[in-house]
Structure 1
């Protein structure tokens, strides 16, 4: 099957409705805006604004691509993190096998961009979406999860000329989706094997809901047992998939050997790695256990101090619409006090809470008008807050724009 080399990237327009940009005139194409080499601080932006650091993005894409290649893994980065076709393209250019998705709506975006292989890392029972997919999978490779007889039946009833290729998903008690145990998985796998319009392709899991390395290892070994059990019933090459951004080293250790033992295609689905962060993943990255530099935080949010109404308290114009707050609050990185002054590290100041449009900072040294940069935690709830994201070099000159499709 032949695929286009380049994705169909959405057209970006910068204008009055582009949040974070101060562009009051007629809208201009994003490419034209980026060619202007605007500084983040030259008056072309208003606050708050989230930016992505080019060197960090490039480093992270290359780092995980090299990790996957060293361990013989295929990489299908989870597109839900960014929903940015330009970043999908960067990942595919670096050797990614395909892009993962979490919903039928995301598959539609992936296909509109021309992603050649999509792994829907979730169950799908939406009859209308399945009817669309039944015709579309004649033109691209598609895999999805299944964890119930009802799911198999829904796929079978909607199938067209090309069968739906499925991965029987293994879960655990108290976890997310997935069959609760090998016996249940084998029942679902047998139904998929026998159903008209459905083809059993392998097994999958998500290990991120397990606590600690030993629980993760044990769960991945259960998936390995499941892979061995279903392998005789899979026509063609067995597919095995796992892997968020916190435990991909253990996925490589526990599942990587299946590439030789069973000739399996082992697909890693990490997504948050592309942006990394200054919170959740900084504390949980496998590079805390692996040698080498590891990943770099790529996202920053710049916001302005609006008020210092009492000693030790500063109010910044940045809130829940602008930064993630579902796991950790943002972290203070640096302050820039004037147009001619460079940003300097700022210690001893902490974000204590965020409201719709304000963040509360405790600590000394801030005054109204200061610009503060923040690191974020959990990039999967950062990209969705921004329609257009400036990409900046290390001097904060805009070199590109990212368009998101949430």
Structure 2
């Protein structure tokens, strides 16, 4: 196990949210303390993840991938935890996805050696930065996106600086975000790759979440159209690279079932191609945007694993919990809890009260009397029904919506076992 230096341990134990004010405790020793957020042992607010739920989500999705004929490189940007990235790869993931040069540097330094950089990197200066990173890891299998000749030039510069014999480029097409918009842009990007030294065509990529709308039917039509464009682009790349193994990559996001149905038969018919999803947040699930997404998957037929139908909503389990204490009951119908926009995601819905504890004892049904109405920097405003027994000092467990924008607020998250006891502390590496 890797121990932090004494300075890092001190910093972690005295200034990091969630860590009680203990002196000189290494992160590897935190799991031995038997802390329980329900008992108020952590310095609240704190963010925890259910180890059992995370493992169950991981195993479920990897089983579904195998049955659907696709693979996954989980997106590291969700937790930016090398430990969790390693665990997903060890369980059978293809590799790891990153969104930036900085994220690539973190994952490479942690030992990952198969990366997909699912983004354009910028111009020539960015290419030099990427090349400097890759030069330290010559054995890394590395793939990156490009949607224009300028993006290709940046990757060629990275390959030159890194002195790599070849760097794999996936031609990105898309709508609503980055990505070549038409056949001419795709062909120009391909031509730039073929003309560049040290670059090879590695396949095609897209992100279906960018075309989603509030209308479910319209969203499926837009994604289906994007999949058709992706298949057409893949055919162009295959013609230009007839013998190379190729990747067809899509985000996965909330529409992994739609993506797999469209792309898996293409890869199977090709015989030398892999459908690579980049799903990351679904391993954590949530009580908001992903809960709604799983319900939509069930309306589309659910998860089909080895011919058997499973409910996505009933199978994926929310793994993240935000813990906070009631600070004030200043007036009837109002409670102030000790967390705010600095601690929780709110872009896809406010946190949801799940359970309430007093001196470590759950107060049955008390959470049903509460709802979060708004947040400011460090306070949550809770509407409280008349007659609620909620009191100052009560500890509330909240479910969150959108794991990505919650996890990036935390430098340390805590694993919990089935009894709600802290098993470990995982530092995040958002920078």
- What CA distance in whole angstroms lies between the structure 2 residues aligned with 1:133 and 1:31? 29
Matched, 1:273 2:274: no
- Is 1:185 the equivalent of 2:193? no
Whether 1:399 aligns to 2:400 is: no
Matched, 1:200 2:201: yes
State yes or no: 1:339 paired with 2:359. Answer: yes
- Give the root-mean-square deviation of aligned CA atoms: 1.8
- 1:374 aligns with 398
Instruction: For residue 360 of structure 1, report the CA deviation from its aligned partner.
Output: 0.6
CA separation in 2, counterparts of 1:188 and 1:9? Answer: 43
1:92-171 paired onto structure 2 within 5 Å: 92-125=89-122, 126-136=126-136, 138-158=138-158, 159=160, 160-171=163-174
1:133 to partner: Cα distance: 4.1
Cα distance change, pair 225–217 in 1 and its aligned pair in 2 (3 A): same
Please show how residues 227-266 of structure 1 align to structure 2 within 5 Å. 227-234=234-241, 235-263=243-271, 264-266=273-275
What does the per-residue CA deviation read over 1:14-48, in whole Å, with 9 as the maximum and x for residues that have no partner? 51123112133x22122222123222244531211
Shift, 1:131, TM fit: 2.5
Q: How does 1:302-381 map to 2 (within 5 A)?
A: 302-336=323-357, 338-345=358-365, 346-364=367-385, 365=388, 366-381=390-405
> Is the contact made by 2:78 and 2:403 (CA closer than 8 Å) also made in structure 1?
yes
Contact 2:39 2:360 in 1 (8 A): no
CA contact (8 A) 2:337 2:381 kept: yes
Cα deviation, residue 10, structure 1: 7.2
Residues in 2 aligned to 1:141 and 1:66: alpha-carbon distance in whole angstroms: 24
Deviations 1:284-328 (A, max 9, x none): 136434123331110111111111112111111111111111221
The match for 1:5 is none
Gaps of 5+ in 2: 213-218, 303-309
Displacement after TM superposition at 1:104 (Å): 0.1
Shift in Å, 1:148: 0.9
Name whichever structure is richer in helix by fraction: 2
- Residue 134 of structure 1 and its aligned partner are, at CA, apart by 4.8
Task: Quote the Cα distance in structure 2 between the aligned partners of 1:57 and 1:315.
Answer: 30
Determine if contact 1:9/1:113 at 8 Å carries over to the other structure.
Answer: no
**Distance in 2 separating the partners of 1:29 and 1:287:** 42
Q: Which residue among 58, 61, 66 is the counterpart of 1:64?
A: 61
Task: Report SS of the residue matched to 2:329.
Answer: strand
Q: How many residues align structurally?
A: 395
Task: Quote the residue 1:16 is aligned against.
Answer: 14
TM-score (norm 1): 0.93
Task: Give unmatched runs, 5+ long, in structure 1.
Answer: 1-7
SS at 1:273 equivalent: helix
Distance 1:62 1:10 in 2: 29
> Aligned partners of 2:429, 2:360: CA distance in 1, in Å?
36
**Aligned counterparts of 1:389 and 1:128: Cα–Cα separation in 2:** 33
TM-score, structure 2 normalization = 0.87
Query: Judging changes above 3 Å, is the alpha-carbon distance between structure 1 residues 257 and 333 closer, same or farther for their aligned structure 2 residues?
Result: same
Match of 2:233 among 226, 230, 242: 226
1:287–1:294: 8 Å Cα contact kept in structure 2?
Answer: no
**In 2 relative to 1, CA 267–9 (structure 1 residues): closer, same or farther, beyond 3 Å?**
farther
